[in-house]
Amino acid sequence: MKKEFGKVLVVDDNEDVLLALKLLLKKSSDLVQLENDPNKIPFLLEGDNYDLILLDMNFSADTTSGKEGLHWLKKVLEISPKAVVIMITGFGEVELAVKALKLGATDFVLKPWENEKLLATLSHAAKLRKSYQEVESLKQAKEVLSKDLDKPFGEIIGQSEALSRVFSIVDKVAATDANILILGENGTGKEVIARAIHNRSLRKDSTFVAVDMGSITESLFESELFGHKKGAFTDAKEDRAGRFEVAHKGTLFLDEIGNLSMSLQSKLLTAIQNRKVTRVGSNQSVDVDIRLVCATNMPLYEMVESNEFRQDLLYRINTVEIKLPALRERVEDIPMLVDHFVKLYSKKYRKPTSRPSAEAIKRLEGYYWPGNIRELQHAIERAVIMGDGEVLTPNDFSFLIEKTNTKQEEMDWTEYDLETVEKMAIQKTISKYSGNVSKAAKSLGLTRASLYRRLEKYGL
């Protein structure tokens, strides 16, 4: 258990002062680091995080003016802006101490000090340091959460048997801390299920942090997940907690985990195994307590066989697997979903549309939905925006029919850019083989992994 003062750094060129402070503080501190040379301050701060720093106002190079102490105070705060610094000053130098406070020092103590007063000053400073850390954690958690508020859909809607099986598993595993792997095509609601697990868990009052692993570049992987120290790289202008730290005591959701390269898989595995992370630019590891939930639309077991995914990582993340059904496997839920999205977008765009016709529902039930619920949502949004009447008809969804029924030989491909042609070809091939990715990939001359990446790219 961490002691009241945590790690304390004392910088003073008087050996008697250093020894006296060490004897006084060691019972209440995890570490008392003594240093008589202020020039070593940058090295010490870059190698460790100190909860409290006691800094002398005057050193041998300048014994009376206090300028040297103020210089090193500025240096400390440049390296660690959130540092809690208590200045050590002689009697009669109160004016200098006040100047130090204006520059950013937390407090000051006078030599010779009274032990009880000194300990009371340090106790107050330690509480201030803790409050700084709590505010910073809340700020970073808020920043992460704010990015997660505007999601494609807010909840899973439906009463189908396939969906009921999913909820049954969620109810069984939510209260445990077991690692969960959610499998399913794009647009089936993997993150929604992850949030449902969190909201039913013992960690529901803590943070849920979602990370799209497919959007993180190799160069930023460690910074995003493990955090970084100020100055660790060009754009590191301040210390920043990674997603693992932000999710401490809560749930960390790693979406599209199948997109990671083998080298990044290795780094992730180490963090998961050790439950420790080290910020980029730091030598100090940080313990993290998280509930891990991962998701992917890629065939991880096949990728293990082809050496594209680490088997030991797969075993770590899939204590329990949840397979989400595609929308075509829960067609009976389509009317409820349509009704939900029609009301949502009618209100959003202030349109009079009130309901879809029976014929429109029938047409939507007959469509293949390669993009699942996400595609259905976008289709309803478009129909509401473009519709002229209060009732949506099959004609309002003619763009869906064109995707599946237009014959390739009748299309003028020169009217489209290359990405659109590729997207349409993938849609047609997936539809032709009834969602069988292996057959579709073979027909397109792609590997399964390559096809999955394109499905992700185009939101299919």
pLDDT of residue 405: 42
The structure tokens listed for 177 are 């801390």
- Among 55-59, 97-101, 132-136, 141-145, name the one with the lowest average pLDDT: 141-145
The structure tokens listed for 219 are 């160069």
pLDDT in tens, 277-314: 999 988 888 999 999 999 999 999 999 999 999 999 99
CATH class of the structural domain 327-405: mainly alpha
φ and ψ at residue 108, rounded to 5 degrees: -145, 155
Tell whether the model's pLDDT for residue 10 goes beyond 50: yes
CATH class of the structural domain 7-141: alpha beta
pLDDT in tens, 82-110: 889 999 887 666 778 788 888 899 888 88
- Among 264-268, 392-396, 436-440, name the one with the lowest average pLDDT: 436-440
pLDDT of residue 150: 42
Q: How far apart are CA 351 and CA 349, in angstroms?
A: 5
Tell whether the model's pLDDT for residue 225 goes beyond 60: yes
pLDDT of residue 60: 65
Provide the pLDDT confidence category of residue 49 given band limits of 50, 70 and 90: confident
Q: What is the pLDDT of the chain when averaged over all its residues?
A: 85
Give mean pLDDT, residues 183-189.
Answer: 91
Higher pLDDT, 440 or 291: 291
- Please provide the CATH number assigned to the domain covering 408-460: 1.10.10.60
pLDDT of residue 235: 78
Domain ranges of the chain: 7-141, 164-325, 327-405, 408-460
Provide the pLDDT confidence category of residue 182 given band limits of 50, 70 and 90: very high
In degrees, rounded to 5, the angle at the alpha carbon of residue 380 between the alpha carbons of residues 376 and 384 is 175
pLDDT of residue 415: 57
Give mean pLDDT, residues 133-160.
Answer: 62
Q: How far apart are CA 260 and CA 215, in angstroms?
A: 10
User: H helices of 349-415, where?
Assistant: 358-366, 372-386, 398-405
Provide the pLDDT confidence category of residue 114 given band limits of 50, 70 and 90: confident
CATH homologous superfamily, domain 164-325: P-loop containing nucleotide triphosphate hydrolases (3.40.50.300)
- Note whether 7-141 and 327-405 share their fold: no
pLDDT in tens, 342-392: 998 998 888 887 689 999 999 999 898 989 999 999 999 999 999 888 899
DSSP state letter for 59: B
For the chain, what's the residue count? 460
User: H helices of 26-114, where?
Assistant: 41-47, 67-79, 94-103
